[in-house]
Amino acid sequence: MTAALIDGKAHAAKLKARLIEETARLKAEHGLVPGLATVLVGNDPASEVYVRNKNKTAEALGFKSVHHHLAETASEAEVLDLVRALNADPSVHGILVQMPLPKQIREQAVLDVLDPAKDVDALTPTNAGLLLSGRAKLVSCTPAGMMILLKETIGAVAGLEALVIGRSLLFGKPAALLLQAANATVTMAHSKTRDLAEVCRRADILVAAIGKPEFVRGDWVKPGATVIDVGINRVPAAEGKTKLVGDVAFAEAVERAGHITPVPGGVGAMTIICLMRNTLIAAAALAGLAVPSV
């Protein structure tokens, strides 16, 4: 059996078309232009590419987009001052601080000053808590993208065994909460999990967000399962080049799974467009308008 590929790019394009329409409507009817501010500290080449893509996509939708690039040596006070200034700027509705931050800057200190109404990554304690309470307005982008892909490919997940490997604030924890809210039976695994391969073999939905190239092997996949590969790992390829691979050994898993996301072009392709959706939602909410159902 060979799995059907879940085409993240195609689903992202559909959502993008809806967002373009909704953005034009907000502008025409209310003079509202959603604004996204990105903050990058340091010179990680991969982060630079992602942040540039975020700003490009924002502009393609008709958003205002501003980028702040601070030096690797920036102090925590500098980052906090920038976030406070963006909190106070009425043309900015979404603030994204790219993680990870250099070690002299405490992630928690940054998230403690970030205005939850502008927290389009949904990383602040307020937004994490709202998700836990089932009242989230802003949901983390990659988990939200995963839920869209699941809905569009397998439909209801109620009663299915879902396994999330990884428990980060950015992905694993919110992903598990969303799956549970959709009535899946959720297990969370991490670096201390015993017999991970056996735990994986029970999963109807296998979600890997570990950050280790091709860590999940094909024979860990339950035949017919849906595999969501969140990992983005750059590894050496032929002729001194590099390539992107996920956390799942794709060539093996595709032989067992029912559906699988490729890397790239899978769930990662949904992340940026879900960030734009959050920025639009934040802009409408800050302007006191009905939150668009996109």
Ligand X SMILES: Nc1nc(=O)c2c([nH]1)NC[C@@H]1CN(c3ccc(C(=O)N[C@@H](CCC(=O)O)C(=O)O)cc3)C=[N+]21
Ligand Y SMILES: NC(=O)C1=CN([C@@H]2O[C@H](COP(=O)(O)OP(=O)(O)OC[C@H]3O[C@@H](n4cnc5c(N)ncnc54)[C@H](OP(=O)(O)O)[C@@H]3O)[C@@H](O)[C@H]2O)C=CC1
Distance CA 35, CA 12 (A): 20
172 Cβ neighbours under 8 A, 6+ residues apart: 164, 165, 166, 188, 190, 209
Residues linked to residue 235 through DSSP beta bridges, in sequence order: 243
269 binds ligand X per the rule CB under 6 A: yes
Q: Is 50 near ligand X (CB under 6 A)? A: yes
Inter-CA distances, 245 with 40, 195, 235, Å: 24, 24, 7
Distances (CA, A) of 149 to 61, 168, 215, 227, 247: 21, 20, 22, 11, 18
For residue 258, give every residue at least 6 positions away whose Cβ sits within 8 Å of its Cβ, in sequence order, or none. Answer: 1, 3, 4, 154, 223, 224, 225, 226
Task: Classify the phi-psi angles of 38: left when phi > 0, otherwise alpha if psi is within -120 to 50, otherwise beta.
Answer: beta
| Segment interacting with ligand X, rule: CB under 6 A, options 125-133, 213-221, 264-272, 286-294 | 264-272
CB under 5 to 8 A by kind: which of ligand X, ligand Y, none does 264 bind?
Answer: ligand X
Among candidate residues 121, 204, 229, 247, the one labeled active-site is 121
- CB-based contact 205:163 (threshold 8 Å): yes
* Residue of 98, 119, 229, 247 marked catalytic: 98
| Position among 19, 83, 92, 97 found at the interface with ligand X (CB under 6 A) | 97
Selection from ligand Y, ligand X, none that 150 binds (CB < 5 to 8 A by kind) is none
Considering the complex, state which of residue 24 and residue 235 has its C-beta at the smaller distance from ligand X: 235
Which one of ligand X, ligand Y, none interacts with residue 269, CB within 5 to 8 A by kind?
A: ligand X
Is 166 marked as a binding-site residue? yes
CB of 121 to ligand X, least distance (A): 5
Binding map of ligand X across residues 114-153, x = CB under 6 A, - = no contact: -------x-------------------x------------
The residue number with the shortest CB distance to ligand X is: 268
Q: Are 139 and 177 in contact (CB under 8 A)?
A: no
The 156-185 site mask, x for binding ligand X (CB under 6 A), equals --------------x---------------
Q: Contact residues for ligand Y (CB under 6 A)? A: 142, 165-168, 170-172, 189-193, 196, 209-212, 230-233, 267-268, 271
Of ligand X, ligand Y, none, which one does residue 167 interact with (CB within 5 to 8 Å by kind)?
ligand Y
Q: Consult the annotation and say whether 167 binds a ligand.
A: yes
The annotated binding site is made up of 166-168, 232
The annotated binding site for NADP(+) is made up of 166-168, 232
List, by residue number, the catalytic residues: 54, 98, 121
